[in-house]
Amino acid sequence: MQNAGLGAVLALRHISPEAAIPNALFATWCIVSGSILAKFWSRKHGANRPSPLPLCRHKAIRRPRLQELRGNTIDARHAMFHTHHRWRWCMARIRCRKCGTKFGNTAGKCPRCGTPTGPRQGGWVQGGPHFLARLNLIAPAIAILVLLAAGIAYVWHKVHNEPASITRTASASATADDLSPRTLDALLLLSPDQLDKVDIALINLLCAVGLRGSENLNVQQCIGTLNTWALNIDWETKRNFHRYAERPAEFKNSLAYYRMGMLGTVLAEDLQIQYNPTFEQRQLKTELVAWSLQDWEAFYSDSRDIFLHGLLTGRRFGTCSSMPFLYVALARRLGYPVNLASRKYHLYARYEEHNGRHLNIEATENQGFATPSDEELKNEQFVMTDEEIRDCGWLRPLSNKEVLGICLFNRAHCLRSMKRYDDAVTTLTQAKRYVPDTALMRRVVEKNKVLTRSMQTEDHCHALWTELEHTQLPSAGPKADYFRSKKLQLRQFIDQSTNIVEVECSISNLLSEAKAYRARATDYPNQLAAEFPPRQVLANREPFPAPLGQARRSTPKVTAPKVSQGS
């Protein structure tokens, strides 16, 4: 029974009220069954135990015990009134000590000899009708069952008639099937007005489907986890509200500060939500503005660090790309007017207060609760111009349409890190519909497309260079020096050129010429053996020399080597 009670308390605190019902039922069953068994065993094993006081059952008096009593008739009758802890209302028969006549205990004197019996009084005595005796056994069980039924009804009412503030998104989504899309394609078919009615968590999770790290993603299970966490946060917020009511100055006299502070405290302390330590250490060593392309590819290599499912399952690590989404999704379930907002290289949550003011919430704090002002967000770490703020939509609440654009951008970066370049370009094209329609944002989208295509070409160059390294060039004969010279010129060109398309074309031409020369040499076995002796396996092959994004050395510009197609 103790375990059942502990399970009910833990279920209410960390899971849901429905999970506490089996524990409550088991605890109640222990109480009822324990009472029944105790009654049964006390009657079975205590039948021969002498009664400490005389009993009166259905007008029958135990004479031996009554004769042991000393005093007048009232004493004996008074003893019969208090014989046992089980009491029933009935009229008992008593015997006059003087003449021995039996009469009712409500009479004031003996009807035969007139001996007074004291003041008229009835009493609670042992005995009574048969159904009253049975009622003595089942009355506690009936009372407990009634209380249990009332408790279950209350829990059911709370669960199925929750305040609209907690289940607002779920109820709104249930009104129409098109507002609760099951796939990303269905989500992209919605209009901007319909997108505003879709759960922001659902938008985020659908954009994570099919990426590395989301192989076991269950969208509905994640939505259920968010609903459970919202109930837990709501309970903690109400339980500690007296702190804000008694000492509002500690919370800056702001209800928004108290609410979001409680939300962040529960996430950090109870649910162990934290920023990914790997990226935290990397940012301490190198600022974001100094990150290389390879650093950003590592950042987007695992979708669990970018989207919500990494916070709702497993290790519960996140980054500034996912943790603000968690704050906003939970706050909206609690009925708080919270939106997502952005600045350069960063996302945060924004609480819109009723007096026209707003509160910025830094969602990536592991040890504290930060509320930076707009000026701090504008000028600290990454300075932003007014033009950038206006054209990129920074430092203001974002609509669900713009939120979808951010999620699609993140999805495109994850696809690019997976080397799915065509899908990344397609996703960037889709994101263009949802980002602010300004010249700056259009340039950003096009720049990312060009970068994606360049990375695709560079990967192709890597493959071609690897193939060239594995292709046997003539080591003797009239063409040996020719191919050796062409390969050196090509390497110098690759090392100095920034045009990845010309690099790809040059490697392809030299590779094609080398393959064609070897194919013609196969017609002359003696020439083939002389010019292409058995290959020696090299321990360290020469890697592709010029990865995209590295700084080029300041050397004179060279042109691509012209590779002849003849022999």
Q: Are 376 and 517 found together in one domain?
A: no
Q: Is residue 352 part of a domain?
A: yes
Q: Is residue 195 part of a domain?
A: no
Q: Is residue 229 predicted with pLDDT exceeding 80?
A: yes
* Element containing residue 78 per DSSP (H, E): helix 73-81
In whole angstroms, give the CA distance from residue 437 to residue 393.
10
Of 476 and 202, more confident? 202
Q: Is residue 176 predicted with pLDDT exceeding 70?
A: no
Q: Is residue 16 predicted with pLDDT exceeding 90?
A: no
In whole angstroms, give the CA distance from residue 362 to residue 352.
15
In whole angstroms, give the CA distance from residue 208 to residue 214.
7
Q: Is residue 107 predicted with pLDDT exceeding 80?
A: no
Residue 146: what pLDDT? 73
C-alpha distances (whole Å) from 527 to each of 474, 480, 512, 515 are: 10, 12, 20, 15
Section 541-553 average pLDDT: 45
Q: Is residue 15 predicted with pLDDT exceeding 80?
A: no
Measured at the CA of 449, the angle between CA 447 and CA 453, to 5 degrees, comes to 115
Pairing assessment for the beta strands 317-318 and 274-275 based on DSSP bridges: parallel
Q: Is residue 216 part of a domain?
A: yes
Residue 26: what pLDDT? 82
Q: Residue 109's beta-bridge partner residues?
A: 116
Residue 50: what pLDDT? 47
Average pLDDT across the chain, whole number = 78
Q: Are 234 and 292 found together in one domain?
A: yes
Q: Are 268 and 226 found together in one domain?
A: yes
Indicate the Cα dihedral angle 401, 403, 408, 414, nearest 10°: 180
In whole angstroms, give the CA distance from residue 529 to residue 94.
135
Residue 73: what pLDDT? 45
Mark residue 489 as left, alpha or beta (left: phi above 0; alpha: psi -120 to 50; beta: remaining).
alpha
In whole angstroms, give the CA distance from residue 344 to residue 382.
7
Residue type, 488: L
Cα Rg of the chain, angstroms: 42
What tens digit of pLDDT does each residue of 19-42 get?
Answer: 778 888 887 778 778 877 777 777
Residue 40: what pLDDT? 75
Q: Is residue 390 part of a domain?
A: yes
Question: And the tokens for 556?
Answer: 């004179």
Q: Is residue 194 part of a domain?
A: no
Q: Is residue 18 predicted with pLDDT exceeding 90?
A: no
Q: Give the lowest-confidence range in 77-81, 164-168, 436-440, 537-541.
A: 164-168
Q: Is residue 458 part of a domain?
A: no
Of 137 and 163, more confident? 137
Q: Are 294 and 242 found together in one domain?
A: yes
Q: Are 382 and 354 found together in one domain?
A: yes
Residue 109: what pLDDT? 76
Of 540 and 319, more confident? 319
What tens digit of pLDDT does each residue of 114-134 get?
Answer: 777 654 433 333 344 444 445
Given 418, 437, 456, which residue is the final one in a domain? 437
Q: Residue 277 belongs to what domain range?
A: 211-437
Residue 552: closest CA among 509, 500, 511, 507:
500
DSSP 338-362: EEEEEETTEEEEEEE-TTS-EEEEB
Residue 159: what pLDDT? 52
Number of neighbours of residue 155 by Cβ within 10 angstroms: 17
Which ranges of 340-420 does DSSP label H, i.e. alpha helix?
A: 374-379, 386-392, 400-417
Q: Are 155 and 43 found together in one domain?
A: yes
Of 321 and 513, more confident? 321
Residue 553: what pLDDT? 36
Q: Are 394 and 518 found together in one domain?
A: no
Q: Are 427 and 308 found together in one domain?
A: yes
Q: Is residue 132 packed enough to be buried (19+ CB in 10 Å), middle (13-18) or exposed (0-12)?
A: middle
Residue 519: what pLDDT? 83
pLDDT band at 352; cut points 50, 70, 90? very high
Can you tell me whether residue 276 is helix, strand or coil?
coil
Judge whether 326 and 267 are in contact, CB under 8 Å.
yes
What tens digit of pLDDT does each residue of 311-340 get?
Answer: 999 889 999 999 999 999 999 999 999 999
Q: Are 396 and 301 found together in one domain?
A: yes
What tens digit of pLDDT does each residue of 379-435 get?
Answer: 887 889 999 999 999 999 999 999 999 999 999 999 999 999 999 999 999 999 999
In whole angstroms, give the CA distance from residue 337 to residue 334.
9
Pairing assessment for the beta strands 102-104 and 274-275 based on DSSP bridges: unpaired
Judge whether 388 and 347 are in contact, CB under 8 Å.
no
Judge whether 336 and 351 are in contact, CB under 8 Å.
yes
Of 564 and 36, more confident? 36
pLDDT band at 158; cut points 50, 70, 90? low
Residue 157: what pLDDT? 61
What tens digit of pLDDT does each residue of 355-382 get?
Answer: 889 999 999 987 667 899 999 998 887 8
Question: And the tokens for 473?
Answer: 């060039």
Residue 474: what pLDDT? 81
What tens digit of pLDDT does each residue of 43-65 get?
Answer: 665 544 444 444 444 444 444 44
pLDDT band at 7; cut points 50, 70, 90? confident
Q: Are 514 and 550 found together in one domain?
A: yes
The total of structural domains in the chain comes to 4
Q: Are 480 and 387 found together in one domain?
A: no
Q: Are 357 and 433 found together in one domain?
A: yes
